[in-house]
Structure 1
Amino acid sequence: MNSTSDPGDREAARRSLEALALGDAFGERWFPLFRPPRQAYAEVRARRTPHEPVWHWTDDTALALALYCALEEYGRVEQDRLALYYAQAFDADRARGYGHGMHVLLPELLAAPGDWRTLAPGLFEGGSLGNGAAMRVAPLGARFHANLGRVVEEAERSAVVTHAHPEGVAGAVAVAVAAALSVRGEFTLEAVAARTPEGLVRAGVLRAAEVPFTTEPWKAADLLGNGQRIRADDTVPFALWTAARHGNDLEAALWSTAEGFGDVDTTCAITGGVVGAATGVEGVPAVWRQKREPLG
């Protein structure tokens, strides 16, 4: 089955994917594995480009790329096929930083993709409410931006394959809607909240809408969460706040997101996917684009 989306939608999705991967790889540089916390803080505050010759991306990009490829092939979320794409991405490189739940779920889906219907709801007593469905979904929102109702529907369908908890789904919806609105030039936190299901994620986005953009990013992260708890409601509001704060400047958006630390590869991936859906990656320093691991 070939994609039914027009080329413009596919271009927006690709912009979002490239920027998501850049944000992911950039954000990963600030983990203690690469820099002690004090050094990371000083370098982020000084806006010092990470020195590593290659910025590798993580599971955030691996699964975003799987979702992107599935949409390229089918033109919509075909859930059983998407489950297989996720499982194959995991199997190709299990050392990308996947969470415990995905180490449990995705090997099972490799052999029986349709089993997501029974296995995903059983993760963590009611399904995962982690940020995994949110971190990968921005290109989907960019692709279907012309129809916000479809953005919500497709985001929900992409989420439940691995994240069946309502908050995990809501995180994906919020990010997908934000990316769609970014492409349309209509991105506000209030508009995202209006399309996000009731619950903790929506409440967090509404709180974010009340935080002035003059607030220091580290303070906003304190107020909204920085993903340290790996939950959608602890990750999405801050990432969307920095995306809204710098809606036309991907470089500034990623630096501001990094100031929040926490699950910084994921917050930067979300911010990157949303802002980059409109801007692309051309405006960031050329050395960033050169250092980021290719998508293949």
Structure 2
Amino acid sequence: MITPPAAALDSLDGLAFGDRWFGILRREGTAALEARTLPPEPLWRWSDDTAQAAVLVRELAEGGGDVDQDRLALRIAARMPAHTSVRHAANVLGSGYRMSGPDTAPYALWCAAGHLDDLHEGLWTTGAGRGDIDTTCAIAGGVIAARTGTGALPPTWHAAREPLPPLTS
């Protein structure tokens, strides 16, 4: 067992901000995104992107920096609620339908590269591209926050974002 590096924990924290916050904005519509209107919910719950990343960080910590692929897959599957539909499970866990993320990762990394010292602006810029906003913002948020941390984000964002799960047992 190892303690996850601070940059890994900051990355997970930034990923969680991008994951759910911009998913809410996507639901609220493009006008809210363009006006940079904050989500109305008092608690910004993250989704599968953050859940899977948290499982990976925990696996890395408990595996001493190594990942046991079978154990990781079982842990991710175990995080799925009992009422999860087959279609959602296939989408989250992978069914072989999509082989890569060529329309997601390059854009998210491009946005992150342009805002390596400003997580706040990086998230807004990434969200402006629309598309799969929660995933692209989760990727960009994770990359930028690994460098900057999340301390510069507004306190209201920290108060609203759902806490991350325990990463070590």
In the superposition, the TM-score normalised over structure 2's length comes to: 0.87
Aligned pair count?
A: 163
**Equivalent pair of 1:20/1:272 in contact (CA under 8 Å):** yes
Counterpart among 236, 254, 278 of residue 147 in structure 2: 278
Larger-gyration structure (1/2): 1
Which structure dedicates a bigger proportion of its chain to helix? 1
Q: CA deviation at 1:26?
A: 1.3
Question: Residue 14 in 1 paired to residue 9 in 2?
Answer: yes
Render the CA deviation track for 1:249-287: whole Å, top value 9, x for unaligned. 000000011111111000000000000001111011110
- Residues 182-193 of structure 1 mapped to structure 2, 5 A cutoff: none
The separation in 2 between residues aligned to 1:92 and 1:17, in whole angstroms, is 25
**Higher RCO (CA-CA < 8 Å; seq separation 6+):** 2
- Matched residue SS, 2:84: coil
CA contact (8 A) 1:30 1:261 kept: no
Counterpart of 2:30? 41
Give the 3-state SS of the residue equivalent to 2:124 in structure 1.
helix
For residues 201-212 of structure 1, the aligned pairs below 5 Å read: none
RMSD: 2.1
Counterpart pick for 1:90 among 80, 104, 109:
80
The aligned counterpart of 2:157 is 288
Distance in 2 between residues matched to 1:84 and 1:12, nearest whole Å: 26
C-alpha distance in 1 between matches for 2:54 and 2:9: 10
Residue from 246, 253, 274 that aligns with 2:115:
246
- Aligned structure 1 segments of 4 or more residues deviating by more than 3 angstroms: 91-95, 97-103
Farther off after superposition, 42-51 or 53-62: 42-51
Which amino acid letter does the alignment assign opposite residue 100 of structure 1? A
CA contact (8 A) 1:17 1:64 kept: yes
Matches within 5 A, 1:25-104: 25-32=20-27, 35=28, 40-74=29-63, 75-91=65-81, 94=84, 98=88, 100-102=90-92
Compared CA separation, residues 92 and 67, structure 1 to 2 (3 A):
farther
Tell me, which stretches of 5 or more residues in structure 1 are unaligned? 106-119, 130-167, 169-231
1 CA distance for matches of 2:13 and 2:34? 25
Tell me the distance in 1 between the aligned counterparts of 2:83 and 2:14. 21
Contact 2:48 2:92 in 1 (8 A): no
Gaps of 5+ in 2: none
Secondary structure class of the residue paired with 1:52 = coil
Letter in 2 for 1:274: V
Aligned-pair identity in percent equals: 42
| 2:135 corresponds to which of 254, 258, 266 | 266
| Deviation by residue 1:129-187 (Cα, 9 ceiling, x = unmatched) | 2xxxxxxxxxxxxxxxxxxxxxxxxxxxxxxxxxxxxxx3xxxxxxxxxxxxxxxxxxx
Q: Find the counterpart in structure 2 of residue 108 from structure 1.
A: none
